[in-house]
Structures are given as structure tokens and as C-alpha cells.
Structure 1
Amino acid sequence: MFVRLFFLLLTFPVYATVFQPQPVVQQIKESDGIMIGHYLKSKAIKLDDGSIATQMIFKMNKEYGLQSDLFGMDEVIVHYPGGKLDGMEVHVDGVPKFVPGEHVVLMIKSNQDRYWGMNLGFGSFKVVNYGNETMIINTIFPNDRKVGQMSLSEFEKNVRVIKGSNLKVVMAPDYPTETDQGADLRAPASVDEGKNRSIASKTEEVENIEDQPHISVFWLVAFLAVLGGCFRLMRQKEAK
């Protein structure tokens, strides 16, 4: 019985998380990126160091710092520690949970070419309608008016003041947010198992196109001239 319990503990490790309340404006200052959008789906992966992480995919409506306009992407992959993969489950307290289609706001950090949810659930908010006002409600401290609640309009205003830029509207075709309707047709903003694309990769694509073999205009004109001369010579011989 002891041996069985021991292996169960190895199979399902649990990591506790302690949160220290922090104002929303401070989280905005510390974030590398901010997203307002809808949750689509998730999957667990194994990172290069062997640890397990969960990739959560979101459709972006507005964003700051994620370069959606540069790469033409309307989705983003955000990582969180823990998950279940190949019979191994790692549970981390404080990781947010969403349902497909849920409207959310995320604070994001960029680390080792991946986007990570900043402060786990403390950096994630659910967008809800409260009377005539749209509010963002924190998933860890939903009842705390100082750190867990703010109107969406005030939040966007704070982003503009702190970051010096508005949240950009992500231009994309309108489609359902359910995971079973066309999810495979959409291209996420993070590719290669969730690794971020860089500006350099975009430049390399342009260079590769420019380096491809192509027919020179000069040689095309010369070829047509020779072809025309041969045609005239044949006509002269036929005339004789």
C-alpha cells in the first residue's frame, strides 16, 4: 500500500502558489504583452528541459506588444506551467481555467521565445457585463475591488497611459470560437510548438523569395528576337 501511494505521489505532483495582491496598473507596467480575446483550446507539451507546460490558444480581439499586424496572425499561444501528458500530471495551484469561447484579458511575459501567462491566474481576468458596464474580473481575487475588479474602458485607458500606446484592434475574419468549428484552419501567432516568431524570421522569408531563380527580362527579349528571326527566314525560304 505504501509503495502504491508513493508512486501515486510521483505521478501527480502538486505545486502550491502564494499570491501577493498587486494593483492592475502595476501588472500592466510589468507585462511584455496584453491581450483581450477569447479562449479556444489547450494542450500539454514537454519543454526542452523535460518539464510539462500547457499551451492555451486564444483568438485576439485587441493586443499590445504581440505584433499581430506584423505577422498577420489573429491567435496567440500562451503557456502555463503544469498539465497532463503521457500519463504524467503536474498540477500547479493558481493556473487559470477557461471554457471555450470565454472572453478574457491576459497579462503576458515573453521568456525564451515563448509567451507565458504573467502571474498565473492573478494576471488573467474574465470580461463580464455588469449592468450597463463591462468589467474585468480577476480569477484569483474576484471580490477584491482594488486588485480584482476594473471597468474595461478604464483598463484600456491605463494601458494607453502606461504603455504609451492604445491596444491595437486585431484584424481577422469573423469565425466561431468553438474548438470544433474550423479551429484547424486558423493560424496561431506563436508557431513551432508555441515558440514566438521574430522580426528576423520575417526578413529571412523575404530574402528567400528574392533569392529564388527567375528569368531575366533581357534574356527573354533576346530569345523572342531570335525566335522571330528564325520565323522570318523560314518564310523567305518558302517564298522562293
Structure 2
Amino acid sequence: MKYFFLLYLFLFFLERTMAMSYMPIPFERQLEESDGVMEGMYISHEYKKTDNQIVTIYTFSVHKFVGFSSNEIYNQNNFQIMVPGGTWHNESYHVEGLPQFSKNEQVVLLIKKAKRGFQLTNLGLGKYVIQTIDRKKVISSSVFANHNQLGNIDYNEYVRLVNKVFKQRFTGFSNGKNVYLQNELPVEKNVDRVPASVDKKTINNSNSNSMNIFWILLLLALLGSASRIYSKKNK
């Protein structure tokens, strides 16, 4: 019985650790996994309950976007995304990895289209904050703010990558109508949308993850063998 209890504790803490951990993904690959990008300002949020699931709906004012039609984003001050979790009549449902937003925060959101609206690509990984660091405009990952690649992406480089992946310029608003922003960087042509190249650091991270999985499986096998031996001795 002792071995089963230890196994339960091990699996519990393993689940908690995996739930709270993120792996850095190259920004270009994150764009490729997204259906669109929205740049704007956070306004408010509200909680709802749909199909016995508590969700939080965040509302933003849109500055510009790409990957969406004019029928999908037509109200400049009412772009909404839905994420799981929240509070409803004193009932709380917490989901690890959800982003936090501050009033009037300037953000870049990587978006996935869903049946009931828009969602963030990979939850917290889909949020970037627009900042000015040393007089240079950058976007910074809300999860990996100190990462050497994701924590300080030059704003012009971000625009270039968006144009490259989606093969179109950002769309903004003028007199309440969608218009292409002509002052953006030119769109790169004749470039296939292929997965971003994997650098050495990413390969090393993948190898490290494979080793971790190997040791976890080995430990589970040993615990299983020990429990069988223990059961035989007590027959």
C-alpha cells in the first residue's frame, strides 16, 4: 500500500509541474500556429458560464490586425477573446497558464479561431506586451519576459515576421472602416509558409525533455515492479 501512495504523490506533483511549465517556442513558429494577430489595448473582462463551464471574456480596443476578415472584426472597441476559468456565483475554476491583463495595457495577441469565438494561441504564450526599452519599441512575451529571443523582439522585426507568415499587411480602422495600413513594411513575396527553423537551443531543449520522459518512465516501471513484489510477499 505504501508503494501505491508514493506513486500517487509522484504522479500528483508531476502533473502540477507539467501544468505550470512552458517551453519557449520561436516567435515565427507561434505565428504559424495562429490564425491571426491582433494589436490593441485591454479594456475589461467579465465571467460567464456556458455548458457548465466557467469562462472569462476579455475585451480589447483594436489598433490593427491581420488574418481576419472585415466580418470578423468590425467593431474597433469590442474585440473579445474567451479563455477557460474564472468565478461564477462564488464558484471558482482556475486554469494554469492563463495570462493576466492590466487596465489600458498595450498588447499583441496571437489568436486561434474557435467555434464560439477567438482564443489565445497556447494560452499565456499568446500574449505579448508592447514596451519601449532604451528608446526602442519592442514586444515582450508575458511568459518569457527575460528570454533572450522572446523577451525583447524589435517592433519592426515583429511586423516583418507577421507580413512574412500571413503574406499581407496589417489592417486598421479609418472612420470606422477597415483599411490596409500603407505605412507598414513591405510584404515579402514568394515565400512559402513553412515551419520556423529549429535552433540549437531548441534541439537541446527537446533532447532534455526526451531524457526527462525516459527517467520518468523508468521510475514508474520500478515502482510498478516494487508494488508487485510487495504484493507477492504479503500473500
- TM-score of Structure 1 vs Structure 2, range by shorter chain: 0.5 to 0.7
Name stretches of at least 5 consecutive residues in structure 2 with no aligned partner: 1-15, 177-235
Contact 1:68–1:170, Cα closer than 8 Å, also in 2: no
The residue that corresponds to 1:149 in the other structure is: 152
| Paired position in structure 2 for 1:73 | 75
Amino acid at match of 2:59: I
Paired position in structure 2 for 1:63: 65
Deviation at 1:121, TM superposition (A): 1.2
**AA in 2 matched with 1:106:** L
Q: Tell whether the 8 Å contact from 1:17 to 1:92 is kept in structure 2 after alignment.
A: no
Aligned to 1:161: 164
* CA–CA distance in structure 2, aligned partners of residues 55 and 71 of structure 1: 16
Figure out how many residues of one structure are paired with residues of the other and give that number.
Answer: 159
Identify the residue that residue 129 of structure 2 maps to in structure 1.
126
CA contact 1:69–1:170 (8 Å) conserved in 2: no
**Distance 1:40-1:104 versus aligned 2 partners, 3 A rule:** same
Match of 2:97? 94
Instruction: Look up the equivalent residue of 2:116 and give its one-letter code.
Output: D
State the shift of 1:120 in Å. 1.1
Q: Give 1:37 deviation, angstroms.
A: 0.3
Structure 1 residue corresponding to 2:25, chosen from 19, 22, 27: 22
Distance 1:71 1:102 in 2: 20
CA displacement at 1:170 relative to structure 2 = 2.8
Flag structure 1 segments of 5+ consecutive residues without an equivalent.
Answer: 1-13, 174-240
CA gap of 1:89–1:99, structure 2 versus 1, over 3 A, is same
CA distance in structure 1 between the aligned counterparts of 2:169 and 2:24, rounded to whole angstroms: 26
Larger gyration radius, structure 1 or structure 2: 1
**Aligned-pair RMSD on alpha carbons?**
2.0
The TM-score normalised by the length of structure 2 is: 0.63
Between the two proteins, what is the percent identity of the paired residues?
Answer: 27
2:68 maps to a residue whose letter is: L
